[in-house]
Structure 1
Amino acid sequence: MANQASNGGEPAAGEQPAEAGAGPGIHVLGQYIKDLSFENPGAPNSLRPSGANPSLDVNVNVNARPMGETQFEVELKLDATAKRGEDTLFVTEVTYGGLFQIKNVPQEHIHPVVLIECPRLLFPFARQILADATRQGGFPPLMIDPVDFAALYRQRAQQAQPEAPTTA
């Protein structure tokens, strides 16, 4: 067994303090439902079996705001509308939030970490909430396909860039 000397919590000679040598990290400080809605406007008729498959429109959005020097609130909004012909079967949405602490990440990488990695951590929970809501609403659970948050981030970045003027 190795001897462990105590020196009052100070690092041993030649060692770095834990914080200085720590790698980058994302810490989930909390996660929560900010808003949840399920509408079944045609019930009970919407629950009757039909040979036609419904059309489904799903939208994903991510927003974030700083809550301090190293903390960020990230909101993942998922909404879905199912229709059969002109009839709306259901409309559901969830805004699922998380409070994250980002440590030891260079400033130029904070934005993509917050808008790609944080929603990636929130997604499975928000997806499950929508699946449960649709199931409780009388429909099969809505299982949204995985989302490529890096592609969503790139798409938003391209939309935010002003168009370069064309020269003749």
Structure 2
Amino acid sequence: MADQGDVLTDLNADPAAGANGADNQPSAGVISQYIKDLSVENPNAPQCFQWNEQPQLDVQVNIAADKVADEVHEVTLKITCTAKTSQGNLYLIDLDYCGLMGMRNLPDEQAHAFLFAEAPRILFPFARRVVADASRDAGFPPLMLDPMDFGALYQQQLAARAQEQQQGAGAPAGEA
């Protein structure tokens, strides 16, 4: 006799799945997310709390994706925030916020777009909160990062890469 889990699985079987019960429909999603690395430096405390100059902020965001298993990738949203004045650095926040992303039956083009556009979009609000909390915990007003359109950034990156390839293809070949 089948247990209740087997009955539910059979009742919810995907009619588009293969006759052998194979799951051949495309799917992608978040398995988990976590802080992989967080560094908060306040090198000029306590003197910096007396400075009245408006700081210059520099925010750098990078995305990386590494395959960790057949259908699992780790996407890293690396965010580096530096606040400086003419008197010195106020703080440096360096965050690697990661998500384990599961993907099954996605064409390579869609998988790449998911890893470098959709996954960062999903992770960003959580990473943004970590940065705001870190700057607040360092003794400064919370740094609220502006929302980012990762889809548009991804499209710009693809267009730039295509243009580079076209320019490289049109260049005369050198002699060896």
TM range (shorter): 0.7 to 0.9
SS at match of 2:140: coil
Q: What's 2:36 paired with?
A: 34
Matches within 5 A, 1:61-76: 61-76=62-77
Q: What's 1:132 paired with?
A: 133
State the distance in 2 between where 1:78 and 1:55 align.
Answer: 16
SS at match of 1:100: strand
State the distance in 2 between where 1:140 and 1:27 align.
Answer: 34
Q: Is the 2:24–2:105 Cα contact (8 Å) retained in structure 1?
A: no
Alpha-carbon distance, 1:26 to partner: 2.6
SS at match of 1:145: coil
Alpha-carbon distance, 1:151 to partner: 3.1
State the distance in 2 between where 1:55 and 1:29 align.
Answer: 37
Is 1:148 paired with 2:171? no
| Number of residues of Structure 1 aligned to a counterpart in Structure 2 | 159
Task: Give the partner amino acid of 2:29.
Answer: H
Alpha-carbon distance, 1:141 to partner: 0.3
Q: What's 1:110 paired with?
A: 111
SS at match of 1:62: strand
Alpha-carbon distance, 1:109 to partner: 1.1
**Regions of 4+ moved over 6 Å:** none
> Percent of aligned pairs with the same residue?
41
Alpha-carbon distance, 1:42 to partner: 0.8
Matches within 5 A, 1:1-168: 10=10, 15-17=15-17, 24-48=26-50, 50=52, 52-157=53-158, 158-159=160-161, 161-162=164-165, 163-164=167-168, 165-166=170-171
Task: Give the partner amino acid of 1:115.
Answer: F
Moved more, 132-141 or 65-74: 65-74
SS at match of 2:78: strand
Q: Which runs of 5+ in 2 are unaligned?
A: 1-5
Distance 1:8 1:128, change over 3 A: closer
Moved more, 156-165 or 58-67: 156-165
Task: Give the partner amino acid of 1:47.
Answer: F
Q: Which runs of 5+ in 1 are unaligned?
A: 1-5
Q: What's 1:3 paired with?
A: none
